[in-house]
């Protein structure tokens, strides 16, 4: 078990409880199964999307003292980067569709001068978590995780997002919202996704939600050892 967390400026802080934020109850329950009743972790299902996740995270942070915040749940994996049933630990949480359409194509809110669309995770913590997952025999990769308000359902959109964020590993709908709420209080944020489907043409019948939830449970158990 580590002795310190890193806050958003990279400074070591005394270890405190970890807040884990999921979107829905099924994800929350999968995480809780893995945590085995540990009182060092508090898990909330804040709802789907960036607004609900940011608001839920902020409310939980206002009600307690935490050293780290994790956005956790299932998500889509970019082909060639994150296969079904694998885990992704985010190197950064990116609001991938926050911006504007122009005749020349999409421009991010950052390009428009409206601030950053990315919250980086602490590299050392990302590598420590990923290494622990790999040591437990769980398939894991690291890379940017995209936060979107509309889940990708076509090959064209998947290709556009992959071109917009080279190396993107996964897509979900909450990570950036959770990370912004944590960042506002100077807390370190992480995102862990268990892959239930490929990013691309929508084919719900082929999704492996059960497998992804099992992977999420396994990942939560490993968090007991490294956070």
Q: Which two tokens stand for residue 217?
A: 């449970």
Return the domain boundaries, the chain. 4-226
In the 8-state DSSP scheme, what is residue 122? P
- Burial of 195-211, coded b for 16+ CB within 10 Å and e otherwise, reads bbbbbbeeeeeebbeeb
The pLDDT, as a whole number, for residue 8 is 54
Pick the CATH number of 4-226 from 3.30.450.20, 3.40.50.1580, 3.30.460.10, 1.10.3720.10: 3.40.50.1580
- Burial of 89-120, coded b for 16+ CB within 10 Å and e otherwise, reads bbbbbbbbbbbeeeeeeeebeeeeeeeebbbb
CA–CA gap between residue 217 and residue 177 (Å, rounded): 22
In the 8-state DSSP scheme, what is residue 139? -
Q: Which residue in the block uniquely carries the two structure tokens 């409206």?
A: 114
Contact 185, 178 (CB under 8 A): no
CA atoms 137, 143, 145, 146: torsion sign: negative
Residues in CB range of 135: below 8 A, 6 or more apart: none
Q: Which two tokens stand for residue 135?
A: 């040591």
CA–CA gap between residue 221 and residue 33 (Å, rounded): 8
Angle between helices 209-226 and 123-135 (to 10 degrees): 110
The pLDDT, as a whole number, for residue 11 is 57
Residues in CB range of 105: below 8 A, 6 or more apart: none
Residues of the chain whose pLDDT is less than 50?
1-4, 13
Residues in CB range of 31: below 8 A, 6 or more apart: 20, 22, 43, 72, 216, 217, 220
Residue 161, helix vs strand vs coil: helix
Contact 8, 186 (CB under 8 A): yes
The pLDDT, as a whole number, for residue 16 is 81
Q: Which residue in the block uniquely carries the two structure tokens 């409880």?
A: 17
Say what percent of the chain tops pLDDT 90.
93
């Amino acid at each position: 078990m580590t002795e310190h967390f890193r806050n958003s400026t990279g400074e070591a802080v005394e270890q405190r409880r970890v807040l884990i934020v999921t979107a829905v109850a099924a994800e929350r329950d999968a995480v809780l199964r893995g945590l085995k009743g540990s009182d060092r972790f508090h898990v909330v299902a804040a709802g789907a999307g960036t607004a609900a996740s940011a608001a839920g995270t902020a409310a939980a942070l206002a009600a307690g003292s935490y050293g780290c915040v994790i956005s956790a749940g299932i998500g889509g994996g970019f082909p060639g980067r994150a296969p079904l049933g694998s885990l992704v630990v985010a190197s950064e949480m990116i609001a991938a569709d926050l911006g504007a359409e122009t005749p020349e194509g999409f421009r991010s809110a950052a390009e428009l001068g409206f601030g950053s669309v990315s919250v980086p995770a602490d590299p050392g913590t990302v590598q420590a978590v990923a290494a622990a997952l790999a040591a437990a025999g769980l398939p894991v990769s690291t890379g940017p995780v995209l936060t979107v308000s509309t889940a990708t359902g076509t090959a064209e959109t998947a290709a556009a997002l992959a071109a917009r964020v080279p190396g993107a590993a996964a897509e979900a709908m909450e990570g950036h919202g959770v990370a912004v709420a944590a960042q506002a209080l100077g807390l370190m944020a992480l995102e862990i996704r268990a892959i239930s489907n490929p990013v691309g043409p929508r084919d719900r019948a082929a999704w492996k939600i059960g497998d992804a939830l099992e992977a999420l449970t396994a990942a939560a158990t490993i968090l007991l050892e490294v956070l």
